Amino acid sequence: MMMQIVVVGLSYKNTLVEIREKFSFIQPTLEIGFAELHKKGNIEVCLLSTCNRNNLFVYKGIQT
């Protein structure tokens, strides 16, 4: 099995606050979104969010 890993990040060092504000997350929305991704393609997601940055890690196993 091969795997794909994608990382997307926003940081206070390179992203305007107006853009970072659009990427604020609330728990119920995250749970629903993560569950939908998992159902559609066995995708695992991890969100690391602090006051200064957001990093989204996405993993998908690919059958070969």
Domain residue limits at 18: 2-62
Residue 39 is predicted with a pLDDT of 84
Cα 32 to its chain centre, rounded Å, is 13
Torsion angle defined by CA atoms of residues 43, 25, 46 and 42, in that order, rounded to the nearest 10 degrees: -10
How many structural domains are present in the chain?
1
pLDDT single digits (tens) 22-53: 888 888 888 888 888 888 877 888 899 888 88
Which residue's structure tokens are 């990427």? 23
Cα–Cα dist 51/45, whole Å: 20
**Residues in Cβ contact with 7 at an 8 Å cutoff, skipping those fewer than 6 apart:** 55, 56, 57, 58
When the pLDDT of each residue in the chain is averaged and rounded to a whole number, the result is 86
Statement: residue 9 has pLDDT above 90: yes
